[in-house]
Structure 1
Amino acid sequence: MPRLAPYAELFKDPKGPGDIRPTAVKIVEDQGLVGSPEWTGRVVLITGCSPGGLGPETAKAIRLTGADIYITSRDIEKGNQVAEELLADGKEAGKVEVLQMDLGSLESIRAAAQEFLRRSGNKLNVLINNAGVMAPPYSKTKDGFEIQLGTNHLGHFYLFHLVKDALLASATPTFGSRVVSVSSAAHRNTPALNFDDLMWEKREYLTLKAYGQSKLANVYFANELDRRYSSKHLRANSLHPGGILTPLARYLPHERAEGLKDVPEVYRVLMTPAQGAATSTWAAVARELEDRGGLYLDECAEAQLVEPEPYHLPGYGPQAFNPPDEKKLWEVSLDLVGIQE
């Protein structure tokens, strides 16, 4: 099957944030889904919707389809701010509801999932695992997990299992349910998962290496999920959103964040948050991805195999597809969050 890359021409010669590369809203428009009867009443759950990030831009675009959008935020006031901004346009579109969820707490995830299922009537068509933390100092979640693996992978893994039945019940042969796992090109920063020390308790803590491990786990989660549930019309894909300077980068030193603007070859590939949300939106709504899963996406396309460096360029590393480790991570994660399948 030919590689899917409908926007390849627009990504050939990037000029920096705000250039001709598509935004999330453009994706919905190009799919002909603004006010779509087929999407009206569908339910989309997006984690990590705080101001300035990719979550609000993803929600803004997908809401135009007519779907009902549920957004999560660790800080409920920030989540409410995003919801107010989404609704301020006055457009007749899907509703927006806010859930307080701290992905660093299994208790918080469980409470939010229960509230979501109550409000949505146990319906869920698309789950977008967008939230994350990047390169903070070493710490642990409330449940004792290394902060990046615990938040970026295990929190979303646990959430999926709590809403899995709703995803499966909402799936049909003509419109399967979807899980979108927002990973990163940083998955290429680690050659393999260290199953002997997933929590970084036996070695020096390297913040970006730990981030890369959590992002590789995001890819493995999507691959294994798709393998297990594709026959039930539930598909999953992972993706790299691109280089975007959002609050996610707040723990990076200046030269690794704002300083990137001064490096011409890096600046030209950076995007606005609206552009950075395009691949997530494409993964969630694109007709050409119906019943396709286990893919790693970037630049609104199926990504291609590349060398590990430079990390600012798109593509996946050879470690991104490893069925034995994908299965092992799934089983280890079940044990860590206390779930039996």
Structure 2
Amino acid sequence: MPRIAPYAKLFKDPKGPGDIRPTAAKIVEDQGLVDSPEWKGRVVLITGCSPGGGLGPETAKAIRLTGADIYITNRDINKGKRVAEELLADGKTGWKVEVLEMDLSSLGSIRAAAQEFLRRSGNKLNVLINNAGVMAPPYSKTEDGFEIQFGTNHLGHFYLFHQVKDALLASATPTFCSRVVSVSSAAHRNTTINLDDLNWEKRKYLTLKAYGQSKLANVYFTNELDRQFEAQHLRANSLHPGGILTPLARYLPHERSEGLKDIPEVYRWLMTPAQGAATSTWAAVARELEDRGGMYLDECAEAVQVVPEPYHLPGYGPQAIDPPTEKKLWEASSELVGIKE
């Protein structure tokens, strides 16, 4: 089957943020889904929607153009409300935007938020976008005792999926599969999954290696999810959004964040948040991805395998497809968060 890459020409020669590469809104427009009758009544849940330039609000803003019901999460309910107010400022009445308080570093918070979401949505969910994350903070543990990046980026979303799984399955149909979209990172290419030390208790803690492990875990979780539920019309894909300077990078040294603007070869690959949200949006709504899963996406395309470096270029590492380890991570994660299957 030919590689799916509808925007390949636009990504061929990047010129930096705001160039001709598509925005998330452009994806929806190109799909012909603005104010779409087929999307009215569909339900989309997006984690990690904070004001200040992140990808979550841009993803929500674009998918809202379809007319779907949008649910966004934030661990700070007031910040979430600010994002909702921005979304509702378009004046479209009757188009739902709701905020859920959810801290992905707390299983109790995830469980409570999921229960509230299911109550409000009537146990309906068509698309789950696992967007939230933390990157390279100093070593700490979650409320439940997990290393903060693995616990938040992977286990938090793994646990959330299990809380809303029945709604995703019940909402799936042969003509529109339910979708799970996991925002990973090119950082997955520079590490492996250490099943004997997922919480970094036996090794020297390296913040970016720990981030990479959590992002590779996102890929493995998504691949295994797709494998398990494909027959029930639930599909899942992971992705790298591209190089975007968002608040996610606040723990990085200057040369790894704002300093990238001073490196011409790297700067031309950077994107605006609206462009960075395009691949997530494409994964969520694209007709060409209907009933397609188990893929790693970037540049609004099915990615290709590459060597680990350089970091700013697209592609997935050879370790990103590993069914035996994917299954083992699923089993280990289930045990860690208390899921019995």
TM-score by length of 1: 0.99
Equivalent position of 1:158 in the other structure? 159
Deviations 1:287-325 (A, max 9, x none): 000000000000000000101000100000000000000
Matched to 1:41, the amino acid is G
Matched to 1:53, the amino acid is G
Instruction: Give me the whole-angstrom Cα distance separating, in 2, the residues matched to 1:63 and 1:41.
Output: 11
Instruction: Give me the whole-angstrom Cα distance separating, in 2, the residues matched to 1:334 and 1:89.
Output: 41
Deviations 1:200-243 (A, max 9, x none): 01111000000000000000000000000000000000000000
Matched to 1:275, the amino acid is Q
Instruction: Give me the whole-angstrom Cα distance separating, in 1, the residues matched to 2:201 and 2:98.
Output: 39
Matched to 1:332, the amino acid is A
User: Given the alignment of the two structures, is residue 236 of structure 1 paired with residue 242 of structure 2, yes or no?
Assistant: no
Equivalent position of 1:333 in the other structure? 333
- Moved >2 Å (runs of 4+): 91-94
Equivalent position of 1:101 in the other structure? 102
Instruction: Give me the whole-angstrom Cα distance separating, in 2, the residues matched to 1:93 and 1:279.
Output: 27
| 8 Å contact kept, 1:66–1:93 | no
Partner-residue secondary structure (3-state), 1:214: helix
Instruction: Give me the whole-angstrom Cα distance separating, in 2, the residues matched to 1:275 and 1:135.
Output: 23
Equivalent position of 1:87 in the other structure? 88
Instruction: Give me the whole-angstrom Cα distance separating, in 1, the residues matched to 2:295 and 2:231.
Output: 16
Report how far residue 91 of structure 1 moved: 2.8
Instruction: Give me the whole-angstrom Cα distance separating, in 2, the residues matched to 1:284 and 1:166.
Output: 17
| 8 Å contact kept, 1:64–1:94 | no
Question: Could you say what the CA RMSD is over the residues aligned between the two structures, in angstroms?
Answer: 0.6
Partner-residue secondary structure (3-state), 1:243: coil
| 8 Å contact kept, 1:67–1:93 | no
**1:9-88 maps to which residues of 2 (within 5 A)?**
9-51=9-51, 52-88=53-89
| 8 Å contact kept, 1:41–1:94 | no
Report how far residue 3 of structure 1 moved: 0.2
Partner-residue secondary structure (3-state), 1:270: coil
| 8 Å contact kept, 1:63–1:93 | no
Partner-residue secondary structure (3-state), 2:309: coil
Instruction: Give me the whole-angstrom Cα distance separating, in 1, the residues matched to 2:306 and 2:185.
Output: 14
Report how far residue 259 of structure 1 moved: 0.2
Report how far residue 92 of structure 1 moved: 4.7
5+ residue gaps, structure 1, are none
Equivalent position of 2:296 in the other structure? 296
Describe the shift of the 1:92–1:336 C-alpha distance in structure 2 as closer, same or farther (beyond 3 A).
same
Matched to 1:54, the amino acid is L
Equivalent position of 2:115 in the other structure? 114
> What fraction of aligned residue pairs are identical, expressed as a percent?
87
Equivalent position of 2:250 in the other structure? 250
Matched to 1:256, the amino acid is R
Instruction: Give me the whole-angstrom Cα distance separating, in 1, the residues matched to 2:60 and 2:133.
Output: 16
Describe the shift of the 1:215–1:283 C-alpha distance in structure 2 as closer, same or farther (beyond 3 A).
same
Deviations 1:41-82 (A, max 9, x none): 000000000012000000000011010000000111110000
Instruction: Give me the whole-angstrom Cα distance separating, in 2, the residues matched to 1:93 and 1:226.
Output: 33
Partner-residue secondary structure (3-state), 2:282: helix
Instruction: Give me the whole-angstrom Cα distance separating, in 2, the residues matched to 1:73 and 1:148.
Output: 17
| 8 Å contact kept, 1:43–1:125 | yes
Report how far residue 94 of structure 1 moved: 2.7
Matched to 1:245, the amino acid is L
| 8 Å contact kept, 1:181–1:218 | yes
Instruction: Give me the whole-angstrom Cα distance separating, in 2, the residues matched to 1:33 and 1:195.
Output: 42
Matched to 1:204, the amino acid is K
Deviations 1:168-224 (A, max 9, x none): 00000000100001000000010x211111100111100000000000000000000
Equivalent position of 1:282 in the other structure? 282
Matched to 1:4, the amino acid is I
5+ residue gaps, structure 2, are none
Equivalent position of 2:204 in the other structure? 204
Equivalent position of 2:6 in the other structure? 6
| 8 Å contact kept, 1:101–1:109 | yes
Partner-residue secondary structure (3-state), 1:78: helix
Matched to 1:73, the amino acid is N
Matched to 1:285, the amino acid is V
Instruction: Give me the whole-angstrom Cα distance separating, in 1, the residues matched to 2:104 and 2:92.
Output: 31
Equivalent position of 1:272 in the other structure? 272
Instruction: Give me the whole-angstrom Cα distance separating, in 2, the residues matched to 1:293 and 1:92.
Output: 34
Partner-residue secondary structure (3-state), 1:14: coil
Of 232-241 and 83-92, deviating more is: 83-92
Report how far residue 93 of structure 1 moved: 6.6
Instruction: Give me the whole-angstrom Cα distance separating, in 1, the residues matched to 2:179 and 2:116.
Output: 21
Report how far residue 251 of structure 1 moved: 0.2
Matched to 1:195, the amino acid is L
Report how far residue 89 of structure 1 moved: 1.3
Matched to 2:23, the amino acid is T
Instruction: Give me the whole-angstrom Cα distance separating, in 1, the residues matched to 2:170 and 2:92.
Output: 30
Equivalent position of 1:136 in the other structure? 137
